[in-house]
């Protein structure tokens, strides 16, 4: 039986593909520091859990396709507290940010159309684009530039007659970079010039450090009709398993059409929406604590990694990821070796090889993504094991540490 081309061509998750090696390592009694996935260990807010526990039925019925009114209102209120006016009618609750991203691509393009995405990027954009039949056109960003955007003319050169949108993630997964307002304004000029949509994956919006601020596409009045924002509670409230997100746009046609997609899949999960609505009522100070915790983790991880002069990273300003350049030839081989052959007192570290975050073949071979989603003492140990691992890996290959670029 021949399956569809899209089924054959869709990328297996590069983040999850090393999972079987981790299972084997655990079977050998090794414990693993999972720096490879963005699964926060911060407790889900009590308010969320209590709302779930309060749910008494009697009939767990379909909700509205655009989400429960109380959740839509809570999201609107949350944005207002961020000085962004979004009416409940300007957003649709989705089954995770994933569904919002998939809806966004399906809204802006047809099979064969293109979307420009700065790389490295969240790998599942590949999957969503494949499902939508669209082509991801990468714009390479570099570690030396802190993964900020290249000159706007380099981005504009990528625009073709098939380009429908530019998709940016800020604060960024995998790099932690926060795009400056000027960068977004540059993209806005390109979007207006060429009639493109701007899709903003802003799910890490609250995770900004050192007093920094994230500018939303929704704050740029000139792209009122062009901007579509993908949002999610997964990281915001440490509720990844809830699968509650939102698609936000002030463009009425976008919302009207997205509503048709939403109706086709009936509704997002009801009980999880009840939890989300309560979490959104927590107020701004909830985030202060979370932000402080992540900033300290980032700093602890960076300090631990600084023990190896061959590990290159610029301090990222947001999210809870960073891309490290390692002094090894192939980080996928290194990541496998860490799971299969390395340990320090029965412990090792799992990282995500970065090649899967690039669309351009050959890039990211000496980079890994790490997430700082563990408590500080554990992060420090993980950093130490990673440093030792890099040294041991190169010794095992007869490569001197100094040879690392």
**Between 60 and 81, CB nearer to a copy of itself:** 60
Footprint on residues 183-202 left by a copy of itself (CB under 8 A): 195, 197
For residue 45, give both structure tokens.
Answer: 């807010």
Contact at 8 Å (CB) between 382 and 300? no
Of 214-222, 248-256, 285-293, 395-403, the window that binds a copy of itself (rule: CB under 8 A) is 248-256
328 in Cβ contact with 390 (< 8 Å): yes
Whose Cβ is closer to a copy of itself: residue 152's or residue 271's?
271
Contact of 18 with 36, CB cutoff 8 Å: yes
Residue with smaller CB distance to a copy of itself, 224 or 284: 224
In 161-284, where does DSSP find H-type helix? 181-194, 252-264, 270-280
- Cα–Cα distance between 403 and 388 in angstroms, integer? 16
Using alpha carbons only, how large is the chain's radius of gyration in Å? 21
* 347 dihedral zone (left: phi>0; alpha: psi -120 to 50; beta): beta
39 part of the interface to a copy of itself, by CB under 8 A: yes
Binding range to a copy of itself, per CB under 8 A, among 83-91, 212-220, 252-260, 323-331: 252-260
| Residue of 172, 173, 216, 251 interacting with a copy of itself (CB under 8 A) | 251
* Binding piece for a copy of itself, criterion CB under 8 A, among 7-15, 306-314, 349-357, 392-400: 7-15
Q: Which is nearer to a copy of itself, 115 or 323 (CB)?
A: 115
The CA-atom distances, in angstroms, between 282 and each of 2, 45, 74, 239, 279 are 51, 9, 10, 14, 6
Which residues between 40 and 79 bind a copy of itself (CB under 8 A)?
Answer: 40-44, 48-49, 52-63, 65
Read out DSSP for 205-234?
TT-B-TT--PPPGGG-GGGTTTEEEEEEST
CA distances from 181 to 149, 299, 305, 353, 381 (A): 12, 25, 30, 30, 37
Among 30, 152, 180, 257, interactor with a copy of itself by CB under 8 A: 257
Dihedral over Cα of 321, 322, 327, 328: its sign: positive
The answer to whether the CB of 331 falls within 8 A of the CB of 174 is no
- Given the rule CB under 8 A, which of 38-46, 78-86, 174-182, 295-303 is the region that contacts a copy of itself? 38-46
Q: Which is nearer to a copy of itself, 120 or 275 (CB)?
A: 275
256 phi and psi angles, rounded to 5 deg: -60, -45
Site residues for a copy of itself, 126-185, by CB under 8 A, read 126-128, 130-131, 133, 164
Rounded to the nearest whole angstrom, what is the least distance from the CB of residue 299 to a copy of itself in the complex?
23
Cβ at position 143, least distance to a copy of itself in Å: 26
Residues 264-283 that bind a copy of itself (CB under 8 A): 264-272, 275
Instruction: Count residues binding a copy of itself (CB under 8 A).
Output: 83
x-or-dash pattern for a copy of itself, window 94-123, by CB under 8 A? -xx-xx--x---xxxxxx-x----------
Name the minimum Å distance from CB 249 to a copy of itself. 10
- Can you tell me the distance from the alpha carbon of 122 to that of 102, in angstroms, rounded to the nearest whole number? 13
* Residue closer to a copy of itself (CB basis): 46 or 182: 46
Binding positions for a copy of itself, 344-363, rule CB under 8 A:
none
Q: Of 2 and 83, which CB lies nearer to a copy of itself in the complex structure?
A: 2
Ranges within 208-247 binding a copy of itself (CB under 8 A): 225-226, 238-243
- Site of tokens 């700082």: 372
143/199 with CB nearer a copy of itself: 199
Cβ distance to a copy of itself smaller for residue 119 or 272: 272
What lies within 8 Å, CB to CB, of 7 at 6+ separation is none
Stretch that binds a copy of itself, among 37-45, 311-319, 354-362, 384-392 (CB under 8 A): 37-45
Asked if residue 72 lies in contact with residue 91, where contact means CB atoms within 8 angstroms, the answer is yes
Tell me the backbone φ, ψ of residue 10, rounded to 5 degrees: -65, 140
Residue 27 in contact with a copy of itself, rule: CB under 8 A: no
| Cα separation, 338 vs 295, whole angstroms | 27
Report in angstroms how near the CB of residue 301 gets to a copy of itself at its nearest: 20
Least separation in angstroms between CB 51 and a copy of itself: 11
Q: Which stretch binds a copy of itself (CB under 8 A): 249-257, 297-305, 331-339, 354-362?
A: 249-257
Whole-number Å distance between alpha carbons of 185 and 222: 9
């Amino acid at each position: 039986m021949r399956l569809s081309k899209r089924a054959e061509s869709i990328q297996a998750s590069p983040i999850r593909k090393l999972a079987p090696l981790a299972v084997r390592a655990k079977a050998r009694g090794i414990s693993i520091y999972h720096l490879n996935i963005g699964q926060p260990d911060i407790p889900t807010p009590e308010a969320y859990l209590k709302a779930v526990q309060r749910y008494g039925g009697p009939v767990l019925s379909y909700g509205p396709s655009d989400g429960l009114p109380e959740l839509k209102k809570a999201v609107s209120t949350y944005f207002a507290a961020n000085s962004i006016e979004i009416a409940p009618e300007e957003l649709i609750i989705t089954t995770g940010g994933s569904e919002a991203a998939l809806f966004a691509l399906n809204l802006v393009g047809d099979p064969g159309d293109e979307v420009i995405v700065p790389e490295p990027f969240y790998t599942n954009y590949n999957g969503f684009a494949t499902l939508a039949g669209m082509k991801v056109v990468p714009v390479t960003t570099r570690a030396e530039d802190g993964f900020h955007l290249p000159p706007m003319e380099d981005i504009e050169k990528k625009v073709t007659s098939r380009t429908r949108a530019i998709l940016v993630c800020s604060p960024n997964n995998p790099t932690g970079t926060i795009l400056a307002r000027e960068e977004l304004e540059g993209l806005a000029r390109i979007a207006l010039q060429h009639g493109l949509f701007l899709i903003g994956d802003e799910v890490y919006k609250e995770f900004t450090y050192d007093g920094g601020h994230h500018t939303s596409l929704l704050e740029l009045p000139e792209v009122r009709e062009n901007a579509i924002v993908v949002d999610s509670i997964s990281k915001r409230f440490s509720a990844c398993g809830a699968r509650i997100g939102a698609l936000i746009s002030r463009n009425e046609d976008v919302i009207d059409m997205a509503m048709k997609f939403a109706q086709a899949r009936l509704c997002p999960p009801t009980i999880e929406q009840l939890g989300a609505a309560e979490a959104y009522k927590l107020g701004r100070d909830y985030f202060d604590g979370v932000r402080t915790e992540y900033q300290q983790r980032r700093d602890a991880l960076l300090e631990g990694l600084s023990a190896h002069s061959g590990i290159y990273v610029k301090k990222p300003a947001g999210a809870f990821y960073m891309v490290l350049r390692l002094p090894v030839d192939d980080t996928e081989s290194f990541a496998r070796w860490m799971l299969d052959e390395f340990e320090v007192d029965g412990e090792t570290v799992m990282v995500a090889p970065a090649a899967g975050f690039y669309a351009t073949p050959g890039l990211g071979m000496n980079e890994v993504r790490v997430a700082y989603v563990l408590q500080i003492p554990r992060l420090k140990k993980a950093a130490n094991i990673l440093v030792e691992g890099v040294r041991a890996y190169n010794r095992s290959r007869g490569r001197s540490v100094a040879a690392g670029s």
